[in-house]
Amino acid sequence: MTPEKFRALLAEKGIVLSDYQMEQFATYYEFLVATNENVNLTAITDRDEVYLKHFYDSLLPAFEYQALQTEALNLCDVGAGAGFPSIPLKIAFPNLKVTIVDSLNKRITFLNELADKLALTDVHFYHARAEEFAKKGSPYRESFDLVTARAVARLSVLAEFCLPLVKIGGDFVALKAQKTQEELSDGKYAIALLGGKVISDTELTLPEVGDERHIVVVAKKKPTPNKYPRKAGTPTKKPLIKK
């Protein structure tokens, strides 16, 4: 997907990018590839693939979750890696207030430098495990309008990372690929236990390649019990799956 096609396809969805925003995406790509020579951020480095499989892919939630386009949501992105999906969302929708949590400091260093290069405001980066960031007593617990995660873990694990950060009345949006129905089946117990309810699972297709994508929206209906998330590493080793 060329940058021009990227812009045109988004415009068809009602997302119109300015020349300045296109320059921000170009800077993002150049800095990502340059940094990737020394720090492992992505296996995808071809320009057109980055625009399709990282930038366009990261904006898919905005097709289904309209509030991203219009509201000054307080968004937390868990395990964002090189900034996906939250930095493309921030570029496209400057109204967002973005917090990124990642467990690798090298990524946080990259994101801080990237934010400076892109002149982004209302962005904050934290080097932390999600389990520590969201634990009982944390100022961030149940404080975000929206929590996102892309390519981090299965839903049964991801729910424990993300739902404790979502405020009552807020939402958790997971960007998923194939086998989402299987993940939803496994994850329903954890989602309910942690105060969430699955609202929708929308199947989309990446243009040009036809890859399957799913946008899963989970509403936060009630408080997460204080004992969750469990200590770092436990959610991955012992997911909350009903026996």
Residue 168, strand partner residues: none
Q: Is 150 annotated as a binding residue?
A: yes
Please tell me whether the peptide bond between 229 and the residue prior to it is cis, using omega within 30 degrees of 0. Answer: yes
Q: Is 131 annotated as a binding residue?
A: yes
Q: Is 47 annotated as a binding residue?
A: no
Q: Is 130 annotated as a binding residue?
A: yes
Angstrom distance (rounded) from CA 7 to CA 1 = 10
Q: Cα-flanking dihedrals φ and ψ of residue 121, to 5°?
A: -115, 165
H or E, element range at 1: none
Alpha-carbon Rg for the chain in angstroms: 17
Per DSSP, the residues of 194-214 read TTEEEEEEEEEE-TTT--EEE
Sign of the C-alpha dihedral computed for residues 217, 43, 91 and 72 taken in this order: positive
Q: Is 107 annotated as a binding residue?
A: no
DSSP designation for 52: I
**Residues comprising the binding site for S-adenosyl-L-methionine?**
79, 84, 130-131, 150
**Residues comprising the binding site?**
79, 84, 130-131, 150
